Amino acid sequence: MNSYELDHLPEVRDGLTRKERIVLYCIDQNQKERGGRNVPTVMLFGRVVEYVNISEQELQLILQRLTNYNQSPEA
Residue 7 lies in a domain: yes
CA distances from 34 to 5, 38, 58 (A): 33, 8, 24
Q: Which domain holds residue 27?
A: 3-65
Residue 50 has pLDDT above 60, yes or no: yes
Residue 75 lies in a domain: no
Give the pLDDT of residue 13: 79
Residue 70 lies in a domain: no
DSSP state of 55: -
Residue 75 has pLDDT above 60, yes or no: no
* Rounded-to-integer distance, Cα 51 and Cα 68, Å: 24
The per-residue pLDDT for range 2-27, each reduced to its tens digit, is: 777 776 777 777 889 999 999 999 99
Residue 46: which of 56, 36, 38 has the closest Cα?
Answer: 56
- Domain count for the chain, please give it: 1
